[in-house]
Structure 1
Amino acid sequence: MCGRFVLTHPSEALAQLFEAAPSNDLPPVPNFNICPTQAVHVVTSDEGGRRLQAMRWGFLPHWYKTPADGPLLINARADTLAEKPAFRAACRERRCLIPASGFYEWTKDRDDRRLPWYIHRADGAPVAFGGVWQAWEREGERLQTCAIVTTDAAPSLAHIHHRMPLSIEAADWPLWLGEAGKGAATLMHPAPDGVFDFHRVDPAVNSNRASGPRLIEPIAA
């Protein structure tokens, strides 16, 4: 799964990288502790081209009466994405990319204390999470919302957590975004070993109120 992530790359650089027109309401970066329900950067594509825009991290199916009605859907499993009522239409019609610099996962020690790890691309480039999005509207309130698709973890990361976000390589962005026809399902697999690196970080990140670059600095494991 993915419950927290990091974005340090500037919005202007992301717009250039993804060849997307940026919206004027993008959330501030850097953010070293992005939490569910916060606004995140999302790349979408339609006949007008690609757009880099802000969306709520927490997918809202159209039948939710309020944003708090039902489970908080921050992740969507790749193996059931096309079957779940909440995601199956978005899987076909509304796929997106969610830029990140890295993400957090946790293990536990012998005393059941949560030990955070920071996971990032070994080459330092931004990660493009595969995602799905949904426009939700009720009684005049309208929200653009998204969820991160997850797969089995890469073998080198499985000792930290058995799931990880779907990572889409740059050559496959057109296929995931629907620009290159059908076949996006072929992309829903774990990242190969060697793409991601990881290190232990300070338990300060266990608090969703923590912030600052110290959260991703390595500590002794």
Structure 2
Amino acid sequence: MCGRFTLTATPDQVALFLALMDMEAFPPRYNVAPTQPILMAIAGPPRDPGSNLPDRRALLVRWGLIPRWAKDPKSLPLLINARAETAGERAAFKVPLRHRRALVPATGFYEWRTVGRTRQPYFLKPRQGGLVAFAGLMETYADPNGSEIDTGAILTTEASPDIASIHNRMPVVVRPEDFSRWLDCRRLEPRDVADIMRPAEPGLFEAIPVSDLVNKVANTGPEIQARVAAVETVAAAEPRRRLPPDDGQLSLL
């Protein structure tokens, strides 16, 4: 799954990466969490015929998709992720997958590796730096009172081989050459973009072990990305305590 990610690039960098013209200022975000606003790029109205820019616009949505048909959102689980393999079959995701595909800009994401009874967080960032775009789904939910809220989820897939030792899932990463295809919901159906929903190529991300500061949503500074020794490394480096000789006596000490 993808439960936390980062967006620390500047608005200008994001606008250039996604070919957006309506980008507003925003601060760097080191610990984006569910239910918080996230930035998405969606297909917009066609530009002037003379423009060579794609028809895309930026949109802030709540991270946690609420289906249009939901009568009581509080009764639903928090839908922050959609499995790419089954999204087209799930009632909550099949309509957005057909009509409202989106791109989610990010500079990395966090994942947790289970080591014994410990969960070691890792920051996975593009090895070459810069931005990536996750495949997203957007839905506008209208409550019974008529107020509307834009919501979204991130598609996940099987982890690439170099990440699978940390976690078996990862966000779907859309390559820049596939941006237009992914966002083209007017002409392309889910089956036409199924090839995009695949694991990222090995080596795209660098995995950095970090401290458990990232576990708390209130921690939002760059210090949560500082490298630490991985749990198994620390355990291996600690000297084993020498046991006292066995004299045949039991002890409570």
Report if the CA contact (8 A) 1:120-1:127 is conserved: no
Report if the CA contact (8 A) 1:121-1:197 is conserved: yes
How is 1:115-194 mapped onto 2 (pairs within 5 angstroms)? Answer: 115-138=120-143, 139-178=145-184, 181-182=187-188, 183-194=192-203
Q: Deviations over 1:8-61 (max 9, x none)?
A: 01122211221113255x7x3211110000001100013332001211110000
Q: 1:198 aligns with which of 195, 207, 224?
A: 207
In structure 2, runs of 5+ residues without a counterpart are 47-54, 231-253
Alignment partners' CA distance in 2, 1:52 and 1:89: 20
- Change in Cα spacing, 1:41 to 1:199, as seen in structure 2 (3 Å) is same
TM-score by length of 2: 0.82
- Range with greater deviation from structure 2 (125-134 or 62-71): 62-71
Report if the CA contact (8 A) 1:174-1:180 is conserved: no
Report if the CA contact (8 A) 2:134-2:155 is conserved: yes
Q: 2:30 aligns with which of 19, 29, 32?
A: 32
The count of corresponding residues between Structure 1 and Structure 2 is 218
User: SS of 1:53's equivalent?
Assistant: strand
Coordinate RMSD, CA, aligned: 1.6
- Range with greater deviation from structure 2 (171-180 or 136-145): 171-180
Alignment partners' CA distance in 2, 1:179 and 1:6: 27
How is 1:57-76 mapped onto 2 (pairs within 5 angstroms)? Answer: 57-76=63-82
* Post-superposition offset of 1:140: 2.6
* Post-superposition offset of 1:180: 9.1
Q: Does 1:99 align with 2:105?
A: yes
Q: Which amino acid aligns with 1:205?
A: V
- Change in Cα spacing, 1:93 to 1:179, as seen in structure 2 (3 Å) is closer
TM-score by length of 1: 0.93
Report if the CA contact (8 A) 1:2-1:103 is conserved: yes
Q: Deviations over 1:115-135 (max 9, x none)?
A: 100001111121100011001
- Change in Cα spacing, 1:205 to 1:45, as seen in structure 2 (3 Å) is same
Q: Which amino acid aligns with 1:210?
A: N
Q: Deviations over 1:139-185 (max 9, x none)?
A: 13211111000000000000100000000010010111117943211
Q: Does 1:44 align with 2:42?
A: yes
- Aligned residue number for residue 4 of structure 1: 4
Report if the CA contact (8 A) 2:99-2:186 is conserved: no
User: SS of 2:87's equivalent?
Assistant: coil
User: SS of 1:54's equivalent?
Assistant: strand
Normalized per residue, the structure richer in strand is 1
In structure 1, runs of 5+ residues without a counterpart are none
Q: Percent identity?
A: 38
- Range with greater deviation from structure 2 (209-218 or 152-161): 209-218
- Aligned residue number for residue 16 of structure 1: 16
User: SS of 2:88's equivalent?
Assistant: coil
Report if the CA contact (8 A) 2:9-2:130 is conserved: no
